[in-house]
Amino acid sequence: MIGKTSILVIALMLAGCNISVETDKDVKIVTPAKAKAFVDAVEADFAEKNEFAAQVFWVQANFMTVDTNAMAAKVGGDMTALAVKYATQAKQFNDLKLDPVLRRKMEMIKLGITLPAPTNVAENKELATISADLDSMYATGKGPEGRTLGQLEDVMAESRDPAELLKAWEAWRTISPAMKDKYARMVAIANKGAKELGYSDVGYMWRAGYDMPADDFRKEADRLWDQVKPLYDSLQCHVRAKLNEKYGDDIVPLDQPIPAHLLGNMWAQQWGNIYELVAPEGSRIGYDLTAALKEKGYDEVKMVKTGEQFFTSLGLDPLPETFWERSLITKPRDREVQCHASAWDIDSKDDVRIKMCTKINAEDFKTIHHELGHNFYQRAYQNQSTLHQNGANDGFHEAIGDAIALSITPDYLKQLGLIDKVPGPEGDIGLLMRRALDKVAFLPFGLMVDQWRWQVFNGELTPETYNQGWWDLRLKYQGIRPPVARDANAFDPGAKYHIPGNTPYMRYFLAHILQFQFHKAACAQAGYDGPLSRCTIYGNKEVGKKLNAMLEMGASKPWPDALEAFTGTRQMDGSAVLEYFAPLKVWLDEQNKDRKCGW
């Protein structure tokens, strides 16, 4: 799901819009009234300018050419320059006592820029050009023999020939070495911009955007990881043992980390494609969702309409007709597009869209529910003021659709007519294993991507150590190693979309915690008291009403307030993950009792 997961592009574009306000020299004496006028002017300008910017980036993502890249770079540069100017002006109100809502908006203005450009015009333009170039290099990248990422991903998912897997794994990483120098220059320019705004580096700036001190957020992420790490460790140990049975000691030694090319995914971030190699013996899920979708005649549009139906079954309004007219749902045959699935909010009202190269399979069925979660969230908070038209934190935006996807249970599939009967409890361990290979396996990857970037931005890692630092973190958190030696000229981080695409990644880690919290709370509200893995809230309008109340809040309150509104607690908590997978953890520990775990 996250391998093709969404980027909330508009949340990034809100970082830079054409701001026309008082200059620093005009503001001789700051007052609360001037601060409010300042914020009001900014919000009005955001509302006016953002739609055009969104349209430009939409065109660039759907028609990847030299010309559209140039247009996107121009608009991006203009917006970033003005946003930086505006964020710099906002600093003059730092010491002024303001009401909490106004103060929080002022901080949002300063922290809303993903890559802050310096005030220097030439460097601003250079940063925008590099950003557009990196995005295009990824989107149009092809491995040897002209194979696209989609083609290579199919090999990673389906092949069990280690030589073929290695060839595909190495092929995709040929696109990224050319990115490294551009990326390093981008880091230097963006860090200069962050310093002008008063932050030590870009990574510190990102961590400051969670309604808590930046250093506290780092501790919070570690606390959540410590909660769920024992579950991951048990899963990693079992998967390594089963891969050893398949490939032997020469390829998967039991005393070493797992080679990254054998886990069914180009980035070894989710392992669901190797389910049949590690599945509990005798535990049958009882259905094949991909086969069922094809057998029942689902096409790409019907898959999306089915996802919409889940949300409307909760009482939420249907998607507007323009969604169906303007979304990109299938990959065009005649042009280059950015196929990475994403959800878009063009006008901050009703022009919401998705962009994905949909395939008829179980993975994309879940991805659709995820992407639509963004769109329904966007529509729910459309009546908030401009700066509050966002998720309570970026993890919320990713978690909503994923929480809905946790309701894709056998009971839900039976209600859709995709399966004839609900399998009995004898298949639960298999179902939990299948889901853990995606959800639990992802947790350390979701954490380490930004851990790497934090070290890049603060200078701990240099271009010479970028690649070694990437694999050091993958070893530390995932117990994964590269299948072949990698040298300093490689730039394996660039082979993951979110690095050249400059999308902060901590949101995905938080989402993998929050989605289980949301799911547990929703099931409790529905009066369900069975295993969480069997609970679906499909059709429950009372749960939908409470969910929508949280969505409507947008970013108008600190995220603990939004969390409390739906779950009753103010703290993100990994215990719901542990409860969801508790039966699997017992089973895994039984399997591992005579194995040497760890790496």
**What pLDDT score does 281 carry?**
86
Tokens of 357: 């190269």
Pairing mode, if any, of strands 258-259 and 480-481?
Answer: parallel
Q: What is the pLDDT of residue 237?
A: 98
Alpha-carbon torsion angle 352, 357, 360, 361, nearest 10:
-90
Q: d(Cα 8, Cα 1) in Å, to the nearest integer?
A: 15
Dist. CA 529–CA 59, nearest whole Å:
47
Name the most confidently modeled range: 15-24, 171-180, 283-292. Answer: 171-180
List pLDDT tens digits, range 398-443.
899 999 999 999 999 999 999 999 988 877 899 899 999 999 999 9
- Quick one: tokens of 536? 């679906």
pLDDT in tens, 112-165: 888 988 888 899 889 989 998 998 999 899 999 899 998 999 999 999 999 999
pLDDT in tens, 454-504: 999 999 999 999 999 999 999 999 999 999 999 889 999 999 999 999 999
pLDDT digits (tens, 9 = 90+) for 172-195: 999 999 999 999 999 999 999 999
Is 212 exposed, middle or buried, given 0-12, 13-18 or 19+ CB atoms closer than 10 A?
middle
Compute the average pLDDT of residues 372-376.
96
Q: Is residue 233 part of a domain?
A: no
Helix (H/G/I), strand (E/B), else coil: 487: coil
Beta-ladder partners of 481:
259
CA angle, residues 124, 130, 134, in degrees to nearest 5: 150
The confidence score (pLDDT) of residue 80 equals: 77
Task: Give the pLDDT band of residue 3 (cuts 50, 70, 90).
Answer: very low
| Residue 440, domain member (yes or no) | no
How far, in Å, CA of 141 to CA of 499, rounded?
A: 14
Give pLDDT, residue 28.
62
Which residue has tokens 């050319």? Answer: 178
Portion of the chain with pLDDT greater than 90, in percent: 78
CB 232 within 8 A of CB 579: no
pLDDT digits (tens, 9 = 90+) for 206-260: 999 999 999 999 999 999 999 999 999 999 999 999 999 999 999 999 999 999 9
**CA-CA-CA-CA torsion for 173, 175, 177, 179, nearest 10 degrees?**
-130
Amino acid type, 283: S
Adjacent-strand bridge partners of 344: 353
For the residues 293-318, what does the mean pLDDT come to?
Answer: 96
The DSSP symbol for 317 reads P
pLDDT of residue 24: 44
Summarize the confidence of residues 39-45 as an average pLDDT: 92
Rounded to whole angstroms, the Cα distance separating 355 from 340 reads 8
Residue 81, pLDDT above cutoff 90: no
Number of domains in the chain: 1
Asked whether residue 501 is assigned to any structural domain, the reply reads no
Number of Cα atoms under 13 Å in the Cβ half of residue 304: 22
C-beta separation of 534 from 409 below 8 A: yes
Comparing CA positions, the residue from 82, 47, 56, 54 lying closest to residue 387 is 47
The helices-and-strands tally (H runs, E runs) of the chain is 24, 4
- Catalytic center residues: 371, 498
Specify if 64 maps to a domain: yes
- Residue-by-residue DSSP string for 496-533: STTTTTT---HHHHHHHHHHHHHHHHHHHHTT--S-GG
Residue 597, domain member (yes or no):
no
Q: Say if 548 falls within a structural domain.
A: no
CA atoms within 13 A on the CB side of 128: 26
Could you give the CA distance from residue 65 to residue 49 in angstroms, rounded to a whole number?
24
Please give the structure tokens belonging to residue 585.
Answer: 């953890």
pLDDT given for residue 78 in this prediction: 80
Tell me, yes or no, whether 114 lies in a domain. yes
Q: How far is CA 525 from CA 50, 72, 540, 542, 553, in A?
A: 38, 45, 10, 8, 19
| Segments forming the whole domain that contains residue 19 | 2-220
Q: What angle do CA 111, 179, 340 make, to 5 degrees?
A: 65
In a domain, 197, yes or no: yes
Q: What is the DSSP letter of 318?
A: P
